[in-house]
């Protein structure tokens, strides 16, 4: 019973961290820090850590829901798909988009400035990657919040 409660608390903290970083922390960084490059660097670091958390928790809870709440039809239910999708999106962030964004920031720095001062082509590429990264993060957040809703606010057991 204590393990079940611990898993419930960890579940809520995970989804809460997705919300907190994306909706509270990142906007506050950009609103309060005078240096947008520093704000972007700090926000990027928070999103990097969050992506690792989402990958780990997403895979863990996919296995947990699969094992504890097996489907009658032998197909995973919504919780399985949602947790797995969050993990896949986190992997896409970690191993695809974030390294590409960092590489563009390094290219801009090598040219002697920030992305805002870089050539138009680099700024456009950065904007596309940043937009895709934002969309993926919002999908993760939406899936996480829907998990809380569908599990009746952390009622993880069947």
* pLDDT tens figures, 24-33: 999 999 999 9
Instruction: Determine contact, residues 81/65, Cβ cutoff 8 Å.
Output: no
CA distances from 39 to 5, 33, 52, 116 (A): 36, 6, 20, 13
Residue in the structure block whose two tokens are 């958390």: 53
Of 11-15, 71-75, 152-156, give the lowest mean pLDDT range.
Answer: 71-75
Residue with the larger pLDDT of the pair 82 and 152: 82
35 part of a folded domain: yes
Distance CA 50, CA 66 (A): 23
Range of the domain at 85: 2-150
Total structural domains within the chain: 1
Instruction: Determine contact, residues 133/93, Cβ cutoff 8 Å.
Output: yes
93 part of a folded domain: yes
* pLDDT tens figures, 34-90: 998 899 999 999 999 999 999 999 999 888 877 776 554 344 577 778 899 999 999
Instruction: Determine contact, residues 61/12, Cβ cutoff 8 Å.
Output: no
* pLDDT tens figures, 103-128: 999 998 888 888 888 899 999 999 99
Has residue 158 got a pLDDT over 70? no
Distance CA 120, CA 115 (A): 9
């Amino acid at each position: 019973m204590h393990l079940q409660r611990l898993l419930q608390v960890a579940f809520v903290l995970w989804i809460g961290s997705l919300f907190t970083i994306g909706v509270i922390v990142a906007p506050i960084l950009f609103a309060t820090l005078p240096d947008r490059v520093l704000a972007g660097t700090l926000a990027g670091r928070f999103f990097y850590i969050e992506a690792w958390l989402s990958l780990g928790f997403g895979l863990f809870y996919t296995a947990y829901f699969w094992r504890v709440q097996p489907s009658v039809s032998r197909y995973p239910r919504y919780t399985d798909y949602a947790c797995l999708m969050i993990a896949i999106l986190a992997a896409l962030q970690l191993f695809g988009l974030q390294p590409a964004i960092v590489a563009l920031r390094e290219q801009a720095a090598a040219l002697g400035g920030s992305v805002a001062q870089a050539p138009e082509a680099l700024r456009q590429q950065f904007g596309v990657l940043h937009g895709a990264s934002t969309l993926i993060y919002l999908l993760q957040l939406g899936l996480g919040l829907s998990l809380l809703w569908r599990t009746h606010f952390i009622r993880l057991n069947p």
